[in-house]
């Protein structure tokens, strides 16, 4: 049965419907040798549908991988400004995949990729409450900041509260060991926090920390749900195990 092309691209895991429409407008989608139009319908298996010159993959060919994203890479399929993208790091996957959610250019760590649109939606949509844990090195009044992070915070009109905030390391601004005359200096310090949230809004952790009076010096995502980065080296990727994949579906 014919379906709107934007829906077809979404169901095949290439993009959201809105992004698919942008791809169509950009002339990146070809149907039977002719550039597609917004609102056009086609039938997979009968019509020849190509995106950037690559035929649409069968629905059964789903791929699920994780990448340890280094700093300095943007989370996008391609970048008009010529910056390095995460797609440069996942060559050899064999099928077209796209990132599930985003990490900003200065954030490192766990980033998932797939070509399964429904699977991606389960991980990113706030209603599924998938926990995401970050290791954040911050500076400022840490004790006060932690207290504020544990309270509801208005971020871009959305009320957000961390699931948990744990201090795992503390060092004084003036003393790497965080001690002065044998007493821990907890005022104006540098600390490493483990922060868990269940949403993934744009630059959410950085905005939350800013609201709490903390400057983020380094930010790394270490887990999504029960899937952890583990010992995967920066810049490397691997396929999810069956157990890992299923843990994010429940």
Please give the Cα distance from 52 to 30 (Å, whole number): 8
Per-residue pLDDT, 17: 78
Per-residue pLDDT, 86: 96
Structure confidence by residue, pLDDT tens digits, 27-50: 999 999 999 999 999 998 899 999
Is residue 159 within 8 A of residue 152, CB to CB? The reply is yes
What 3-state DSSP class applies to 7? helix
Per-residue pLDDT, 187: 53
Residue 86, domain CATH: 3.30.70.580
How many domains does the structure of the chain reveal? Answer: 3
Confidence of residue 60 (pLDDT cuts 50, 70, 90): low
Structure confidence by residue, pLDDT tens digits, 165-176: 999 975 544 444
User: Is the domain of 200 the same as that of 239?
Assistant: no
Is residue 37 within 8 A of residue 4, CB to CB? The reply is no
**181, pLDDT greater than 50:** no
**56, pLDDT greater than 90:** no
Per-residue pLDDT, 175: 44
DSSP state of 233: P
* Catalytic (active site) residue 154: no
Confidence of residue 83 (pLDDT cuts 50, 70, 90): very high
Structure confidence by residue, pLDDT tens digits, 87-134: 999 987 877 888 998 999 999 999 999 988 888 888 887 778 899 999
Structure confidence by residue, pLDDT tens digits, 125-145: 777 889 999 999 999 999 999
What does 117-137 look like in DSSP terms, one character per residue? HHHHHHHHSGGG---EEEEEE
User: Is the domain of 30 the same as that of 115?
Assistant: no
Structure confidence by residue, pLDDT tens digits, 191-232: 999 999 988 777 889 999 999 999 999 999 999 999 999 999
User: Is the domain of 154 the same as that of 220?
Assistant: yes
Is residue 214 within 8 A of residue 195, CB to CB? The reply is no
Residue 195, domain CATH: 3.30.70.1560
Closest CA to 99 of 247, 242, 237: 237
Q: Find the angle CA(183)-CA(142)-CA(168) to the nearest 5 degrees.
A: 80
Per-residue pLDDT, 174: 41
User: Which residue among 47, 79, 104, 141 is the active-site one?
Assistant: 104
Residue 249: strand pairing partners: none
Please give the Cα distance from 113 to 103 (Å, whole number): 12
Give residue 31's domain range.
Answer: 3-55
User: Is the domain of 97 the same as that of 70?
Assistant: yes
Is residue 123 within 8 A of residue 200, CB to CB? The reply is no
């Amino acid at each position: 049965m014919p379906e709107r092309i934007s829906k077809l691209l979404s169901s095949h895991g290439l993009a959201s419907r809105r992004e698919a429409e942008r791809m169509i407008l950009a002339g990146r989608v070809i149907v039977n040798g002719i550039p597609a139009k917004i609102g056009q319908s086609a039938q997979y298996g009968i019509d020849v549908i190509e995106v950037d010159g690559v035929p649409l993959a069968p629905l059964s060919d789903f791929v699920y991988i994780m990448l340890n994203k280094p700093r300095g890479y943007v989370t996008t399929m391609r970048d008009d400004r010529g910056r390095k993208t995460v797609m440069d790091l996942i060559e050899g996957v064999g099928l077209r995949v796209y990132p599930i959610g985003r990490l900003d250019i200065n954030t490192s760590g766990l980033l998932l990729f797939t070509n399964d649109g429904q699977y991606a939606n389960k991980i990113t949509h706030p209603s599924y409450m998938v926990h995401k844990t970050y290791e954040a090195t911050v500076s400022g009044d840490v004790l006060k900041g932690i207290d504020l992070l544990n309270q509801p915070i208005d971020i871009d009109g959305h009320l957000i509260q961390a699931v948990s905030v744990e201090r795992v390391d503390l060092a004084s601004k003036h003393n790497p060991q965080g001690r002065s005359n044998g007493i821990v200096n907890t005022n104006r310090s540098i600390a490493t926090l483990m922060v868990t949230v269940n949403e993934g809004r744009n630059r959410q952790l950085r905005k939350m920390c800013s609201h709490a009076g903390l400057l983020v010096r380094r930010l790394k995502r270490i887990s999504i749900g029960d899937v952890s980065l583990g010992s995967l080296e920066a810049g490397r990727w691997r396929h999810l195990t069956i157990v890992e994949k299923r843990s994010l579906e429940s």
